[in-house]
Every structure is written in C-alpha cells, then in structure tokens.
Amino acid sequence: MSGGNGVELTVVGETMATLSADHVGPLRYARGLGLSVAGSESTVAVGAARLGHRAAWVGRVGDDELGALVRTRLRGEGLDVRAVTDGEAPTGLMLKEQPVAGQARVHYYRAGSAGSRLSPGDLPDDLLDGTRVLHTSGITAALSATALETVREAARRVRAAGGIVSFDLNHRARLWPRERARETLLSLVPLTDVLFASDDEAAMLTGDDRATPEEACHALRAMGPDTVVVTSGAAGAVSVSAAGTVRTAALRVRAVDPVGAGDAFVAGYLSGLLSGLDEAARMARGTAVGAVCVATQGDWEGLPDLAGLASAEAEAGTVTR
C-alpha cells in the first residue's frame, strides 16, 4: 500500500513552540532560552523521516510567529506539513528546564491553544486514504472533545483503507483526570493495531500493577491490538504479537536529556515496521533510536539518521525471543 503523495507515515497531534533553559538549574536563573518546537507525534515523524521514510504531520497552529516556527522547523526536517492555521487561538508553548543534570521538567501553556482545537474536518483525505501507518497518542486525545473525535475518525478511516494504526497511550496526568483518561484510552485501544505503553500506563489500563510487562502485553492485546509493546525504561521493553514475545534490553548511555525518549523508541520501531523488519529487529531499532535520543539534548534534535542508527545498533546488545 502506498501513501498519499508517497507518504508512508502520517501523524496527528499538537506541536508547540518550546523555550529551553541554556544551563542546568532552576528556570528562574536561566541566562538565555533556546527556541525550538516539540510534540510527541511530530517527534515520531521527524525520527522516521531521518531514517529515510516519507512522513507527514497533521495539526493546527495559530496565525502567529510561533505557528510559523512550527511549520518552518517541521518542513525543514522533510515532513509533509498539513497545518490548519487558526486565527482565533495561539500556538501552544512549552518551557523546559533541567533542575539537575539528566532530569528535565516542562511547563505547558497550551490551554485553549490552536492545537487543542483540532477537529475531524482538519484531516486530509489523501493522507488518510493512502498512508501505510497512522500514529497518534493519548496526548492528542486529552486535549479536547474535538481532538478526541479527530483521533477516533482518523483511526477508523485509516483502518478502513487498509492501513495500520499506531497509538501511544502517553498518559499526561496534567491534561485530564485519571479515571476519565483510563475510560477514554480503553475505548481507543480496540481501534489500534500497534499499541505502545509504559509499564505504569499499562497498569492503569489493566488495573493490575503487579503484572509483569509480558503479562500486561497479553492483557492489552486481548482488547484488540495485533501488537502491544510495553517499555520499562532502563529495564528495557517487551512486545507480544503473533510472532510471540520479544524482549530487548536498554542500552547503557549517559543520560543528557530524557524528554522524547519514548517517542524516539516509537519512531525507531515504526521505521522497522515500514522497512519490513521482523519484530525482534523492530524492537532493537526502537531501543537504539531511544538511546541516541536520551544521550543528546532536545526532544528530537539528536535523533539519528541511517548512519547514526547503524552505529547505535552495533551497540544494541542481545535481543531474545
């Protein structure tokens, strides 16, 4: 199946402008702030694009300089940018600091943002009807009722067209109450083909915080997805699919900036899927890309190209079934 305009991966979600402190310590003492962009889904798209895949981003931005920044940066990474300009709401903003080395803290200014006003009418027909993989997350589902309906509609249409739906639970407690999040995310799992979750997110959905990651994968897979991947940080990750159970160990790296590591893993995994790799190789690629992200500054700036990936994969350790 070939994507609209050759696009293999389409992502849907909010991308914000970001201001990051230029040194380690409380934000209030920062001497300067670096300007960039950040968004869970767009990080996945950038990661896939750097690995040679045609990727598109769908979202909303304000009719402001920050919206222009988002468009410019994502286009500069080779993405097919399908951004609706909203003249009635601003582009969202995120402030980022490192209180101590290796730890990141973020502050969102996204209530009422253009991205939160995403609606089903913003979805481009050509992308949904032709993309091989759609990826979105629980962050987008949490932004508003219309954003949630956009997630549902995109998933329905891509699956109806024969595409694959990838969904990362990405639970953010600051965006919605836990019980509403659980109820909503449970309703989205059956619309998903490949589901990603951290171990704590998996426990929230299954209601069993004593289950092993493999047991959590089986429980979530019983709800509908073909493949479930549960990540456990430094403990590695496990997937359960028709291919069986695959485990991969985390790489030992010096953590510089942990923000974006989960999205980087997803980017690597989906790159493996799009490249026709088997499950073990997909998991290994996701682990390698995630490790590179953790060892570099920024959510997506340090994501590897194919040469960087080859170097990281050479250190990926043993993958066992």
- For the annotated catalytic residues, the residue numbers are 263
Rounded to an integer, what distance in angstroms lies between the CA atom of residue 87 and that of residue 228?
39
Rounded to an integer, what distance in angstroms lies between the CA atom of residue 67 and that of residue 14?
11
Are 220 and 228 in contact by the 8 Å Cβ rule? The answer is yes
Are 72 and 126 in contact by the 8 Å Cβ rule? The answer is no
Strands across the sheet containing 16-21: 33-38, 16-21, 93-97, 105-109
| Helices 199-206/178-188 angle, 10° precision | 90
Structure-block tokens of residue 229: 């991947």
Evaluated on CA atoms 72, 73, 78, 80, the torsion sign reads: negative
CA dihedral (29, 33, 36, 40) in degrees, to 10, reads 0
Q: Give the closest residue to 289 by CA, choosing from 13, 39, 49.
A: 49
Read off the amino acid at residue 212: T
